[in-house]
Amino acid sequence: MTVDATSQPRGAGDSILRDPKVRAVFFQILVIVLFLAFVFYVGNNAAVNLEKRGIASGFGFLSQPAGFGIGIVLLVDYNAQVSTHSDVLLIGVINTMAVATSGIVLATILGFVFGVLRLSNNWIVNKIAMVYIEIVRNIPLLVQLLFWYFAVLSVLPRVKQSINFGDTLFINNRGVSFPSIVPESGFMFVVLAFFAGILGCIFLAKWAHKRQDRTGEQFPVFLTSLGIIVGLPIVASFVLGNPMHLEYSALKGFNFQGGWILEPEFLALLIGLSIYTGAFIAEIVRAGINAVSHGQTEAAGSLGLPSGITMRLVILPQALRVIIPPLTSQYLNLLKNSSLATAIGYADITAIFAGTTLNQTGQAIEVIAITMAFYLSLSLSISMFMNWYNKRIALVER
Partner 1 sequence: MAIVKTERHPEMPPPVTQTGVIGWLRQNLFSNWLSSVLTIVAIYIAWQAMSSLISYSFINANFVGATKEDCTGTGACWVFIKARFGQNMYGFYPEDERWRVNIGYVLGAVGLFLVLSDTMKSKKLPAIFLFVIYPVICFVLFSGSFGLEVVETSEWGGLFLTLVLASVSIFVALPLGIVLALGRRSEMPVVRMICVGFIELVRGVPLISVLFMASVMLPLFMPEGVHFDKLVRALVGMSLFSAAYMAEVVRGGLQAIPKGQMEAANSLGLGYWQSMGLIILPQALKISIPAIVNTFIGLFKDTTLVSIVGLLDLLSVVKAGTTDKNWLGLATEAYVFVAAMFWVFCFGMSRYSIWLENKLHTGHKR
Q: State which residue, 235 or 376, has the beta carbon closest to partner 1.
A: 376
Classify the C-alpha dihedral 33-34-38-41 as positive or negative. positive
Q: State which residue, 281 or 332, has the beta carbon closest to partner 1.
A: 332
In a 13 Å sphere around the CA of 27, the CA atoms on its Cβ side amount to 9
Looking at the chain, the number of H-run helices and the number of E-run strands are 13, 8
CB of 209 within 8 A of CB of 216?
no
Q: State which residue, 75 or 380, has the beta carbon closest to partner 1.
A: 380
Q: State which residue, 35 or 207, has the beta carbon closest to partner 1.
A: 35
**Rounded Cα gap, residues 313 and 316, in angstroms:** 7
**Total count of residues recorded for the chain:** 398
**CB neighbours (10 Å) of residue 388?**
9
**Rounded Cα gap, residues 328 and 323, in angstroms:** 9
Of 159, 154, 153, residue with least CA distance to 252: 159
Determine whether 34 is exposed, middle or buried from the number of CB atoms within 10 Å of its CB (0-12, 13-18, 19+). exposed
Q: State which residue, 319 or 367, has the beta carbon closest to partner 1.
A: 367
Interface residue list for partner 1 (CB under 8 A): 1-3, 24, 27-28, 31-32, 35, 42, 45-46, 48-50, 52, 120-125, 128, 134-135, 137-144, 146-147, 150-151, 154-155, 332, 336-340, 342-343, 350, 354, 358, 364-365, 368, 371-372, 375-376, 379-380
Q: State which residue, 241 or 308, has the beta carbon closest to partner 1.
A: 308
